Amino acid sequence: MASSLSYAAFHYGSDSELQRVGVWEVDTVASEKSKYWIIYIHGGAWRDPRIDHKSFIPTIDAVISSQDECKSSISGFASVDYRLSPHPGFPQDPEGTTPRDYRNAFHPDHIKDVWSALRSLQERYAFGSNYVLLGHSAGATLALQLLMGSTALKGSAPPADVALPAAIVGLEGIYDLQGLVDRLGPEYAALFVGAFGDSSNWSDVSPMKFTKSFRSAWSEEHLVVLGWSPEDELIDRPEIEGMQKVLEKDNVNTLALTDLSGTHDGMWEDGRPFAQVIRKTLNHLKSSGLSITRQSSQIFDNDEANNRQGRQWRL
């Protein structure tokens, strides 16, 4: 269980209390370089203060308590918090809230924080690219935005000293903001405006609309896993299938797992579906012979309708 592991939390930035990472170490032998770290980015529509890095604990518990040998491939777990945008359901008084506690993030603050968190983790634990990066919902958007380079950073160059992961796992991800609004309804627009502004900005932040090549960010020895449950009441199948087509068009090694179980939030609340995806990802990396590298990876800029009833907006 996560409680049996060595846990620590630290800040990677000084602007916000949310610039924080939680770490659970499994293997504290620094010389062990053949194992992977599992790093998680939570969802919450870039704004939900109820969801933080500890939402990864049920998944860690499910991995640790399993009898699967994939546990022997894991050095540790980390979970990233990042600055959040305002949430109308949880308003704050700017006069009575300290700057470090005030949630007023706006793109590209969220993705900049992910880059900073990864840099800090790599500096502390020296695992290079030996990690699997999981993101749920909005966290999946952020994970794939790493591969979009300056496009997802409003023209700023990504840090060249941050190694990209061996695999990225998008779980019930948001990949086409406008597409979700068009298919599922205008209520989704309210989720996106607070983080990105009006719809004229959405294409630049949507991984499915990336006009360059995802392959240019990675070599062929890397993997993207897309996970989705038919029980998901917030994200529909076309969102996953569309992202899969884009990645495959760019010749990125892609594994789609569309038979997971659980509702949108139920999957991380339970933990076992995410643990299942972690196990399959590690096994796929092993069976495919995908190499573990230690170098920095620089990004080059070259009846689902029924399930959506009763939505709770915690994407």
Burial 75-92 (b: 16+ CB within 10 A, else e): bbbbbbbbbbbbbeeeee
287 is catalytic: no
The single residue of 48, 52, 176, 232 carrying the catalytic annotation is 232
- Helix, strand or coil, per DSSP, at residue 25: strand
Q: What is the dihedral of CA 97, 57, 164, 76, to 10 degrees?
A: 120
Q: Are 283 and 70 in contact (CB under 8 A)?
A: yes
264 is catalytic: yes
First to last CA, the chain: 26
Q: How far apart are CA 85 and CA 110, in angstroms?
A: 9
232 is catalytic: yes
Write the single-letter amino acid at 271: G
The single residue of 116, 129, 137, 229 carrying the catalytic annotation is 137
Q: Alpha helix (H) ranges present in 217-313?
A: 237-249, 266-270, 272-287, 304-307
Q: How far apart are CA 134 and CA 277, in angstroms?
A: 10
Q: Please tell me what DSSP assigns to residue 24.
A: E
Q: Are 164 and 288 in contact (CB under 8 A)?
A: no
Q: Where in the sequence numbering do the catalytic residues fall? A: 137, 232, 264
